[in-house]
Amino acid sequence: MMNSRIAEIAVEKAAYSFDKAFDYVIPDSMLDKAVAGTRVLVPFGRGNRKRQGIITAVHQGESKGLKSVISVLDDEPVLNDEMLKTAAFMKSHYFCTFYEAVKTMLPAGINYKVTTMYGAKDESEFSFDELTDEEKRVYNYLFSKRKAVKSEVLLDAFGYSTTEPFELLVQKGVLYKSDEIFRKVNDAVMKMAAVTPEVDISGVKLTEKQKNVFELIEMAGAISVKEVCYFTGVTAAVVDALCKKGLIYFFDEEVFRIENRQKDSSLKEIVLSEEQQSACDSLYNEYDSPFPSVSLLYGVTGSGKTSVFIKLIEKVIDDGKGIIVMVPEISLTPQFVSQFAKRFGDKIAVFHSALSLGERLDEYKRVKQGLAQIVIGTRSAVFAPFDKVGLIIMDEEQEYSYKSESSPRYHAREIAKFRCSYNNALLVLSSATPSIETYYYAQTGRYSLNTLSARYGKAVLPEVVVADMGEELKNGNTSGFSNVLLQNIAYNIEHKKQSILLLNRRGYNTFVTCRACGEAVTCPNCSISLTYHSANNRLMCHYCGYSVPYTDECPVCHSHRLTFGGTGTQRAEKDISDIFPEARILRMDTDATSSKSSYEKMISAFADGEYDILVGTQMVAKGLNFPNVTLVGVLNADHMLYADDYRSYERSFSLLTQVVGRSGRGNDKGMAVIQTFTPENLIISMASRQDYNTFYSNEIKVRKAMLYPPFADICLVGFVSQNREAAFKGAVKFLELFTEEAKKNYPNMPLRILGPTPALVVKISNKYRFKIIIKCKNNSEFRALLSKILCEFGKSKEFSGVTAYADMNALVC
Ligand SMILES: Nc1ncnc2c1ncn2[C@@H]1O[C@H](COP(=O)(O)OP(=O)(O)OP(=O)(O)O)[C@@H](O)[C@H]1O
Ligand SMILES: [Zn+2]
Ligand SMILES: [Zn+2]
């Protein structure tokens, strides 16, 4: 009998190897709400634990043997047909579960979390005296609470590492268990700590760590918990303990004030240059055609690509379709948002991770309800919930930040392509240094190409000087700053012009070694050396977050002959201020911008001329537009020239070209100084000339000869385990399964396999990592093959301690 409504449901927390849509009966009372795209609670697995899931489809069918949906969580679907298809696309292309994809598409604040709770039953239901002392303790604790308690809280309270003792008590009928659903708390809220007013700590016993934390908070007045941890090296648990003692309290900082999104009607209309106009026209014609293709807007730095976007958007906005403008870094959003807000007022919404939970949810809803029509944001903006998308613009399309490095390992450009082809919308990729793949497609006709070959207006490309640091050393200059750079900084300070200095390493010293035993001080959890930070006087690991107070003792041989090496941004900032005490210097890196909205304040302060010099990591290198900057210095270009994978040159060329391009964007001619020990390096000379064409024609030949993208796809399969041996053996086993299957069922598939080899950093957070590299053609056959082996491997008992994942065209291979 086919008389029931059956929902096909993808559930949360499924292992990839078992992930599929499960059938559930929809009870009559829920028929009108349980539609595709809504989230539900269902009983799952043998224990019928409650799990969250999403309905992917509904059909008429036989209910026999099926479980029923417990409840519907959403009043309206959170995903429409397009987004459900996007999730399916992500599952098949990125080897993730359906629900992982769903979670990625929704703002964190909208996510629910199912949590197990335990509570005490009535004493009449079991015999209290038969319990062990420990069991009595658990029972009494829960009884005193008078309600069910979250399992995490209980685990903490009793110091257990598993819930087994509670499960036993449930079996004995002492405790009851229930699953409750909570709105997920969002980690992006900046949690602040402050000292409780009029608190008296004289009688309170505090550990050394707690004392340090308390003093810091007291001194700071109010400070983010993240910063407390940074400066004192404690975990958040230590801060929590102070709160439990009542000495401090927490509050969420409301920082990211929504910018004034008022249209500025006094603003003059943008008049495009001839070149800009013709690019804009041809983009519009493409947009207006029945099946727009992908279009590359290739324009040198400072050519006014942003003006072209704005004009294009002005032309298409009345069509009522959604428009997405993506930027690669949060630090670029303020300049974009303020420019766009002046033109489009409250029609814009902003999507990025530095917004608070509530703000993100609000912006999401404004888009969903059709109140906002333009979304500006970082990677996740590609999921903006428009009914119908008309135009997606990806600025600096070559940037790595568009690719997610954790599952689902998606690339925003691929999602954008998928959405645009679903909606017959136009995708505009924009850059001064397009990725090799993109430019190749534009050259070979797969994408259309529009070029802006000159800077806008009177601005010209900066003059570039390559400073030979070897020569400088020979002449006795050990300062790390070439004479030509110092002279020009001095000139700029005197003439009220601004300078940007790039050093792509944060911290003070990038390594510490022992002169007695010759060892570098490394992280105990990772195979990487620790970085010295002067701001907190600690050694820190940039991979796992480990940190220790700095002492001058070698952890290996305990001698006191440690020496520092490698300059980071903190050190560069100090050195520059020693040389130019009168200069106002701003440092921008992820340490300086850890508190929310600080990057925004920094950028506007620098734009307002409050600083002479901006020292920073790649964060300052691209996209920003400061007309008063006439000098850019690259302190150590050699760091960028390491070739650890096939994209290294592309990355270094792009970074150098982009940072040089920050100079001389206004009326005054700019200059850039690139400091290097290898002045004859080809990448440096091409970047100095901003010569993308030569770079491209060299690079594409190499790609072709070596069979790298766009001539093949590179799939990395990673193996992670606490046990080094197991990770390696897992990789060997996987390779065996894979080649066997390929031989058997896909004998003609072009494949080249390398490895297994240790990953670039073999140990991170005490987990060992190995990899296999597969050069392949990323088509449905290949994905079916890979997916099959990933599932098989995932189910194997022997390798249950090894996680395998696939990363298509991974950032670093
Ligand atoms: N048509 C125009 N009218 C007035 N000003 C313009 C016009 N086009 C560009 N500009 C100005 O030129 C400068 C550079 O423009 P923009 O920042 O858009 O360059 P870009 O192409 O995005 O460069 P990059 O790739 O280096 O980020 C800006 O100050 C911008 O206001
Ligand atoms: Zn030593
Ligand atoms: Zn580490």
Q: Which ligand is nearest to the CA of 273?
A: 1
The pLDDT value recorded for residue 112 is 67
Domain CATH code at residue 194: 1.10.10.10
Alpha helical stretches, state H, 112-254: 133-145, 151-158, 164-171, 208-220, 225-232, 236-244
Protein residues with CB under 6 Å of any ligand 1 atom: 270-273, 276, 299, 301-307, 432, 456, 623, 625, 627, 661, 665
Same domain (yes/no): 309, 358: yes
CATH number at residue 355: 3.40.50.300
Domain that holds residue 377: 274-452
In a domain, 266, yes or no: no
Q: Judge if the upstream peptide bond of residue 750 is cis by omega within 30 degrees of 0.
A: no
Q: Is residue 457 part of a domain?
A: no
The answer to the question of residue 526 being in a domain is yes
Asked if 280 and 418 sit in the same domain, the reply is: yes
Instruction: Evaluate whether residue 215 is within a structural domain.
Output: yes
Mark whether 316 and 410 lie in a shared domain: yes
> For a substitution probing ligand 1, which of 306, 339, 431, 452 has the most ligand atoms within 8 Å of its CB?
306
Residues 683 and 725 occupy one common structural domain: no
Nearest ligand by distance to the CA of 761: 3
Residue 813 lies in a domain: no
Same domain for 82 and 16, yes or no, is yes
Last residue of a domain, one of 63, 83, 111: 111
Amino acid at 653: F
The predicted pLDDT at position 260 comes to 57
Q: Is residue 148 part of a domain?
A: yes
Q: Closest ligand to 515 CA? A: 2
pLDDT at 202: 79
CATH number at residue 803: 3.30.70.600
Cα of 494 to ligand 1 centre, how many Å? 27
Closest atom of ligand 1 relative to the 662 alpha carbon: 26
Indicate the number of domains in the chain: 7
Of all atoms in ligand 1, which is nearest to the CA of residue 307? Answer: 8
Looking at the structure, do residues 647 and 517 belong to the same domain, yes or no? no
283 contacts: CB under 8 Å, gap ≥ 6:
295, 297, 308, 312, 426, 428, 450
554 alpha carbon to ligand 3 midpoint, in Å?
Answer: 17
**Other beta carbons less than 10 A from residue 122's beta carbon:** 8
389-395 vs 448-452, strand pairing mode: unpaired
Same domain, 123 and 59: no
- Among 307, 313, 626, 656, name the best residue to mutate to test ligand 1's pocket (greatest count of ligand atoms within 8 A of Cβ): 307
Q: How far is the CA of 724 from the centre of ligand 2 (A)?
A: 26
Together in a domain, 739 and 782: yes
Question: Strands (DSSP E) along 509-644, which ranges?
Answer: 509-514, 531-533, 538-540, 547-549, 562-567, 585-588, 613-616, 629-634
Kindly report the backbone phi and psi dihedral angles of residue 213, in degrees, each rounded to the nearest multiple of 5, phi listed first.
-65, -45
Answer yes or no: is 493 within a domain: yes
Q: Which two tokens stand for residue 417?
A: 């392509």
- Tell whether 247 and 352 lie within a shared domain: no
Last-in-domain residue among 685, 703, 721: 703
CATH code for the domain of 56: 3.40.1440.60
Which atom belonging to ligand 1 lies closest to the Cα atom of 624?
A: 27
User: Are both 208 and 147 inside the same structural domain?
Assistant: no
Partner residues linked to 439 by β-bridges: none
* Domain co-membership, 666 together with 575: yes
As for the ipTM of the complex, it is: 0.95
223 and 280 together in one domain = no
pLDDT tens digits for 518-546? Answer: 888 888 888 888 888 887 888 888 888 78
Mean pLDDT by 10 residues, the chain (813 residues): 87 90 92 92 86 94 90 87 96 96 85 77 87 91 86 83 83 84 53 84 85 87 82 86 89 55 83 95 95 94 93 94 94 86 91 75 85 93 96 95 93 97 97 96 96 87 91 89 94 94 85 84 87 84 84 86 84 92 89 66 89 89 86 88 80 91 88 92 89 94 92 95 94 95 92 90 90 94 96 91 92 73
- Closest C-alpha residue for ligand 1 atom 9: 304
Is 260 domain-assigned?
A: no
